[in-house]
Structure 1
Amino acid sequence: MIAAAAGSPQNKSDSKWVAPADAAAKKNPLIGTSGAVAAGKKLFLRHCAECHGEDGAGIQDAADLRVLQVQNQSDGSLFWKMTNGNVKAGMPPFARLSDTERWQIVCFVRTLKGDEHPEK
Structure 2
Amino acid sequence: MEHIRQHRNNFFAQLFCIRVPLGDGNVSAAYAFLTGKQQEFYEEVFTAVLDACLQRDIRPNVRVVVCDYEQAIHNAVRTSLSFQIRHYGTSSHVCRRTTPWPKQRCTGSNTGSR
What TM-score, normalized to structure 2? 0.29
Greater length-normalized contact order (CA 8 Å, ≥ 6 residues apart): 1
What TM-score, normalized to structure 1? 0.28
Larger relative helix fraction: 1
Larger relative strand fraction: 2
